């Protein structure tokens, strides 16, 4: 707190000698109060006004990150595990859907193919027997019990064969092309999407399990921006608004359009907005940080002239008329310094957001001479008393 001294000479006449005593009094002025005389107010050209409701459009600066849709990302594993027999891919290399990423070897592949061929052979016999018994049963040449047994064997083998076909499909072996002459101990690991390799976690001879991630792929054709706004700016953005953004140290602007806004505020009081990137940007990669400028549509906001808002120690303030008073026969006026948040600016006015709980109605705001009041505060009384 700052103290400003006012010295008063009081003549105290005593009964026994008429002695004079000098008494000093001190007035304690709060840190956020600036006090000025009437002549100083005139010299500083301080004028007050009211907060206005103005329709303002402008820009909103936000930060974000480049993200990719879930259907444009893929992690590749080996469903039955095994040993990596060969691979020649490096991170960053483009791949196409269905391209072989690695060849994996596992003795269990041999057993699975053998079992499949055995079940397939039994099924073919059971199917022929089922068809034959069906004809006999229609002509009453076989019993119902025998027909039921043949039908049961046929359905069991069919289910076993179909299940093993799906297992073979998982490891990349086509059951329709499998014969006793082309049983193999290897299987191809193929890319499920087109894109580029984000990560390669394999090497020749490495043993991998079904839970290991061998490759990570990203398709950068469908990128979007995940932008972070402060809670106070949540009502300024709408679906369909356009924005411009920059990546890294580039000077070239890229365009995007907001397609979705979050439906709630995060625990850290942030608000997420999502935008689709317009066109293709060759240097745009998932995870890249971006600086974006959103074109904010016109809306009614509380605003003041630009010169009414001053900056001090990286914060923004306005001065409010507090009260008039008289001291020692002189007139003084107190002004209170209040921290505010700035928003969009346009036409010489700036959006001002007051502290929580403070009503704009009835406030007398210093609209001219605010920097002089700030100087008075900085200079510890050069302009204030």
Look up the CATH number of the domain holding residue 292: 2.40.30.170
Same domain, 305 and 294: no
Could you give the CA distance from residue 384 to residue 43 in angstroms, rounded to a whole number?
12
Same domain, 191 and 249: no
Give me the pLDDT at residue 15, please. Answer: 40
Angle between helices 107-138 and 144-170 (to 10 degrees): 150
Residues in the chain: 385
Q: Are 297 and 238 in contact (CB under 8 A)?
A: yes
Same domain, 145 and 279: no
Give me the pLDDT at residue 10, please. Answer: 32
Between 300 and 225, residue with greater pLDDT: 225
Same domain, 269 and 364: no
Could you give the CA distance from residue 252 to residue 245 in angstroms, rounded to a whole number?
9
Show the tokens assigned to 48.
């007050």
Give me the pLDDT at residue 193, please. Answer: 93
pLDDT above 60: residue 275:
yes
Instruction: Show which of 218, 234, 259 is a domain's final residue.
Output: 218
Domain presence at residue 330: yes
Same domain, 373 and 290: no
* pLDDT tens sequence across 105-126: 999 999 999 999 999 999 999 9
The reported pTM is 0.57
Q: Are 371 and 383 in contact (CB under 8 A)?
A: no
Instruction: Show which of 299, 316, 339 is a domain's final residue.
Output: 299
> How deeply is 156 buried, as exposed, middle or buried, from its count of CB atoms within 10 A (0-12, 13-18, 19+)?
middle
Distances from the Cα of 73 to the Cα of 3, 76, 190, 192, angstroms: 65, 10, 14, 10
| β-strand partners of 368 | 47
Instruction: Show which of 238, 267, 299 is a domain's final residue.
Output: 299
Show the tokens assigned to 260.
């979705």
Number of domains within the chain: 3
The residue range of the domain holding 63 is 59-71+219-299
Q: Is the Cα dihedral 28, 32, 35, 40 positive or negative?
A: positive
Same domain, 77 and 213: yes
Q: Is the Cα dihedral 278, 282, 284, 290 positive or negative?
A: negative
Domain presence at residue 10: no
* pLDDT tens sequence across 55-95: 776 678 889 998 888 888 999 999 899 999 999 999 989 99
Q: Is the Cα dihedral 369, 311, 249, 232 positive or negative?
A: negative
Give me the pLDDT at residue 27, please. Answer: 60
* pLDDT tens sequence across 171-182: 889 999 999 999
* pLDDT tens sequence across 188-242: 999 999 999 999 999 999 999 999 999 999 988 778 899 999 887 887 788 888 8
Could you give the CA distance from residue 307 to residue 318 in angstroms, rounded to a whole number?
9
Could you give the CA distance from residue 323 to residue 49 in angstroms, rounded to a whole number?
15
Domain presence at residue 191: yes
pLDDT above 90: residue 29:
no
Taking residues 296-320, report their average pLDDT.
Answer: 87
Show the tokens assigned to 71.
């259907």
Give me the pLDDT at residue 385, please. Answer: 43
Could you give the CA distance from residue 289 to residue 131 in angstroms, rounded to a whole number?
67
Same domain, 168 and 245: no
Q: Are 90 and 200 in contact (CB under 8 A)?
A: yes
Percent of the chain with pLDDT over 90: 47
Same domain, 88 and 198: yes
């Amino acid at each position: 707190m700052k103290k400003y001294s006012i010295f008063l000479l009081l003549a105290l006449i005593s009964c026994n000698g008429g002695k004079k005593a000098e008494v000093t009094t001190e007035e304690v002025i709060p840190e956020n109060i600036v006090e000025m005389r009437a002549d100083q107010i005139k010299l500083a050209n301080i004028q007050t006004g009211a907060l206005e409701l103005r329709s303002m459009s402008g820009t909103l600066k936000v930060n974000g990150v480049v993200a990719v849709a879930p259907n444009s990302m893929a992690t590749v594993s080996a469903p039955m595990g095994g040993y990596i027999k060969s691979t020649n891919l490096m991170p960053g290399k483009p791949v196409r859907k269905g391209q072989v990423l690695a060849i994996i070897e596992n003795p269990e592949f041999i057993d699975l193919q053998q079992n499949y061929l055995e079940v397939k052979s039994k099924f073919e016999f059971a199917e022929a027997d089922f068809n034959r018994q069906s004809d006999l049963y229609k002509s009453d040449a076989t019993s119902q019990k025998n027909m039921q047994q043949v039908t049961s064997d046929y359905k069991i083998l069919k289910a076993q064969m179909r299940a093993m076909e799906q297992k073979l499909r998982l490891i990349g072996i086509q059951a329709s092309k499998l014969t006793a002459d082309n049983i193999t101990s290897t299987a191809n690991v193929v890319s499920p999407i087109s894109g580029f390799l984000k990560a390669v976690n394999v090497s020749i001879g490495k043993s991998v399990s079904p839970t290991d991630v061998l490759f990570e792929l990203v398709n950068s054709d469908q990128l979007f921006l995940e932008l972070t706004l402060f809670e106070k700016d949540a009502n300024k953005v709408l679906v369909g608004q356009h924005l411009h953004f920059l990546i890294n140290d580039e000077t070239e602007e890229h365009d995007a359009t907001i397609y979705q806004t979050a439906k709630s505020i995060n625990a850290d009081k942030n608000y997420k907005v999502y935008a689709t990137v317009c066109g293709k940007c060759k240097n745009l990669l998932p995870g890249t940080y971006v600086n974006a400028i959103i074109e904010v549509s016109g809306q009614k906001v509380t605003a003041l002239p630009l010169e009414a808002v001053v900056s001090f120690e990286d914060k923004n303030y306005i001065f409010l008329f507090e009260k008039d008073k008289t001291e020692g026969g002189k007139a003084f006026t107190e002004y209170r310094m209040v921290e505010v948040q700035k928003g969009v600016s346009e036409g010489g006015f700036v959006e001002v957001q007051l502290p929580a709980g403070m009503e704009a109605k009835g406030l007398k705001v210093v609209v001219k001479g605010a920097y002089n009041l700030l100087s008075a505060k900085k200079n510890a009384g050069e302009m204030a008393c």
